[in-house]
Amino acid sequence: MGLFASGRSRSRKADTEAPPSPSPAAQRPLPPPPKSSRMRRLLRAGLPLFVSLAMVAALEVGLRLAGFEAHVGGGGDPLLNPEPLFHPVTGADGVPMLQRNDAPVVAFRRDKPANGFRVFVVGDSSALGFPFGPEFAFSRFLQERLAAAMPERTVEVVNCAMNGSASWHARKIVDEIVQYKPDVLIVYVGHSDWITPAPETISPVIRAVSQLRFYQLAVVAGQSWQRWRQGPLDVQRINSRAEPYGQARDRARGTQTLTERDRESVTARFTDNLRAIIAAGQAVGARVVVSGLVQNLSDFPPGASRHRPDLSAADRQRWREAIDHADVRMRAQDWQGALAALQAAEQIDAHPAILHYLRGRCLQALGDYTGAAAAYQRASDLDGAPLGAPSQFDSVIRGVVEQTGVEFVDVRTALVDASPNGLVGHEFFFDYVHPSIAGHAAIGRALAAALGAAGNDDVSDPAALAAAHPELQRKVYAANVLLYLALGWYDRAIDELNEGGKQFPDLLGFREIVERFRARESVRDWDDFP
């Protein structure tokens, strides 16, 4: 039987025997542990948490004492904490100054001189000077023109625009600016309202956390790590919902679509913010100048197209065949044949933005520049992934300006008049809305004229500036490739890298990134989404 048998026998016996009765002492409940013992256990359990909180608090205090502060995004907002934008410093000559936290090149005197003339510019990346920086933005050319026109004044043109900022960000920045005794407030904002997530979608908790310096430090460190790993192509921005690139990506792929209600909401929100910006400037006696918006309509196609909702699958196929035929005729420079094919497609569905852009290319080739300009504008207004403000924003801006009595500068007409055949394109823009150095110089000229500095050409030469800073062209290549990746234009991204590689050979190594994006997903040539 062995050990297993005897073991089973003992178990059965144990089951049949009654358990012994506990002694009277054992029946009494155990006394509670002393309070000091319980306190020690609680302290031991909470010590790691306490130490962690103490370390975080010490880090927070240390960062604040050191003056660290960074503007970061999160939760779908590229700028959770746009203000304060400036902090006090001492200039090289000992003069107290106020300097931008994120752009040390931008600074002005803390104490406004008696002869001071201060101009503040608020806006989005187009006004900041992306990707070059504020030292090459139109604020630079405006500073030079105003200083030459007013030698008896101490002129300070301060660039307060920010990358990724929409009208609600600019509204916050103006609340800070009005403390600095502005003489002029220039408003160039509106493009980013169409590509930045709405402010009401951001969690209040995330906004509160964004004010903590250690959180800002963590975000900045993560961004620096990504830049170190990936070089000039920060592809993480394409997948981030806290970046305009991420918004463009979703719309270009048809996973997100702007409805008419969305468009109405964007317009209403922009109108309210513009009114608030103007009111804040007027309240401190500043001369408020609102600029019209301008963009590259002729040399940059729409980001995405959409069919009308009731279009059948058969009609969609017929439309696609007509567009493909138009493309073939355009490659053969048969512009009339291409227009005929486009007209056939328009009779099926006139809603896709790409149709009107291609029509504009044909009309431009045929010398009908007025017709081409109208077609390009129609393409922009129908863009499913708006790469700039539609024409209705110009009407909104003009209406608010008229009602509030402030000044309007028609920058768009100024650039149209300076463009070949009146079609604004790559002469002044390197992409869809971001000006080239020449574009910034042209915008600065228009604004200077409005402020009484017309005819003064004693300014930096844009071509000479670009030649003296070849690194600026590298930034253009990198910015374009990121945009093309977001839109799914992989062939254009490869072409851009090949072109940039002639001057900057290391850019050629990033073609592998583009091919990885291409292999992972596909986007149709004409962005043909239902």
- Which two structure tokens, joined as six digits, stand for 253? 């792929």
Are 322 and 457 contained in the same domain?
Answer: no
Distances, alpha carbon 56 to alpha carbons 71, 127, 208, in Å: 20, 37, 16
Sign of the torsion formed by the C-alpha atoms of 411, 414, 418 and 424 = positive
Q: How many CB atoms lie within 10 A of CB 512?
A: 8
The pLDDT of residue 4: 33
Q: Which of 350, 381, 412 is the last residue of a domain?
A: 381
* 122-178 pLDDT tens trace: 999 999 999 999 999 999 999 999 999 999 999 999 999 998 889 999 999 999 999
Number of domains forming the structure of the chain: 2
Are 419 and 330 contained in the same domain?
Answer: no
Distance, CA of 163 to CA of 323 (rounded, Å): 36
Distance, CA of 166 to CA of 173 (rounded, Å): 11
Whole-prediction pTM value? Answer: 0.82
Contact call for residues 133 and 240 (beta carbons, < 8 A)? no
Q: 506: buried, middle or exposed (CB in 10 Å: 19+, 13-18, 0-12)?
A: exposed
Return the residue matching tokens 């994120």: 102
Sign of the torsion formed by the C-alpha atoms of 108, 124, 485 and 195 = positive
Are 503 and 368 contained in the same domain?
Answer: no
CA angle in degrees (0–180, nearest 5) for 483-102-221? 75
Are 401 and 340 contained in the same domain?
Answer: no
Q: Which of 327, 354, 381 is the last residue of a domain?
A: 381
For the chain, list residues with pLDDT below 50: 1-17, 26, 530
**Sequence-ordered alpha helix ranges (H) in 193-233:** 204-209, 213-230
Instruction: Kindly tell me the number of DSSP H helices and DSSP E strands found in the chain.
Output: 22, 10
Give the CA radius of gyration of the chain: 31
Contact call for residues 223 and 471 (beta carbons, < 8 A)? no
Return the residue matching tokens 């490739």: 481
Are 401 and 504 contained in the same domain?
Answer: yes
Contact call for residues 251 and 384 (beta carbons, < 8 A)? yes
The region, left, alpha or beta by phi > 0 then psi within -120 to 50, assigned to residue 202 is beta
Return the residue matching tokens 């600029």: 291
The DSSP bridge pattern shows strands 96-100 and 107-109 to be: antiparallel
Q: Which of 381, 416, 443 is the last residue of a domain?
A: 381
Distance, CA of 122 to CA of 281 (rounded, Å): 11
Contacts of 27-34 with CB under 8 Å at 24 or more apart are none
Are 148 and 256 contained in the same domain?
Answer: yes
The pLDDT of residue 200: 62
Are 373 and 425 contained in the same domain?
Answer: no
**Full domain range(s) for residue 413:** 86-198+249-299+389-529
CATH number of the domain encompassing residue 444: 3.40.50.1110
Are 329 and 403 contained in the same domain?
Answer: no
Residue 56 lies in a domain: no
* 358-407 pLDDT tens trace: 999 999 999 999 999 999 999 999 999 888 999 999 999 999 999 999 99
Helix axes 511-520, 471-487, angle to 10 degrees: 10
Secondary-structure percent of the chain, ordered helix, strand, coil, rounded to 5: 55, 10, 35
Residue 51 lies in a domain: no
CATH number of the domain encompassing residue 372: 1.25.40.10
Are 450 and 316 contained in the same domain?
Answer: no
Contact call for residues 139 and 441 (beta carbons, < 8 A)? no
Return the residue matching tokens 């503040």: 120
The pLDDT of residue 16: 45
Residue type, 480: N
Are 344 and 279 contained in the same domain?
Answer: no
Distance, CA of 80 to CA of 164 (rounded, Å): 11
| Residue 214 Cα to chain centre, angstroms | 23
Residue 473 lies in a domain: yes
Residue 61 lies in a domain: no
Contact call for residues 488 and 253 (beta carbons, < 8 A)? yes
Q: 79: buried, middle or exposed (CB in 10 Å: 19+, 13-18, 0-12)?
A: buried
Residue 52 lies in a domain: no
Residue 238 lies in a domain: no
Distance, CA of 77 to CA of 82 (rounded, Å): 11
Are 320 and 393 contained in the same domain?
Answer: no
Residue 257 lies in a domain: yes
Residue 22 lies in a domain: no
Contact call for residues 444 and 408 (beta carbons, < 8 A)? no
Are 421 and 460 contained in the same domain?
Answer: yes
